[in-house]
A = this chain, B = another copy of it.
Amino acid sequence: MGRRAEEYIEIIYDLSRGGERVHVKEVAERLNVSLPSVTEMFQRLAEAGFLNYHRYYGVTLTDKGRKLAEDLEKRHQTLKEFLHLLGLEEEEADREACKIEHVVDPETVKLLTKFVEFIEMHDSPRWLARFRKYYLSGELERCPKIKDGV
């Protein structure tokens, strides 16, 4: 399975919340690809056991497909959350997460998951606010405890 196939799976998952079948057109619009490209991918993913595909009907995820989708979804959320927490705006964080999630391995996901947890445990620590300011302005907020001599 290529990286792109994973994106199809995620989108299908997203579009099928509630168990509805997913149509070629919706997916084509999401991915900005042609209808035939989607049909073709549906067939390949069905072949590989991720989708139930019936001509002129649409697709649903198999258990295997859903499992993969849930995994990808989790990665995506982690990565997005991480990037957003550091200061990327939400849209950007989402887009970047989308690309990174297909290449990164589980250990890295774990690392970042822990990092997000760690930050959330501390309820947005002061250093994070300081970092964000640094990222946005390029300047460091003066740390009030340290006085530089004139």
Chain A interface (Cβ within 8 Å of chain B)? Answer: 83, 86-88, 92, 96, 99-100, 102-105, 107-108, 110-111, 114-115, 117-118, 121-122, 125, 127, 130-131, 134-135, 138, 140
Contacts and interface: CB of A to CB of B under 8 A. Distances in A.
Contact of A104 (B96, B121, B125): B96
A118 B118 CA distance: 18
Contact of A103 (B100, B105, B110, B131): B100
Contacts of A130: 118
Stoichiometry, as copies per complex, reads 2
B105 A118 contact: no
Given A96-B105, A100-B104, A104-B96, A140 B121 contact: yes
B99 A87 contact: no
Contacts of A118: 130-131, 134-135, 140
A103 B111 contact: no
A135 B66 CA distance: 29
A87 B111 contact: yes
A111 B140 contact: no
Contacts of A138: 114
A102 to B, nearest CB: 8
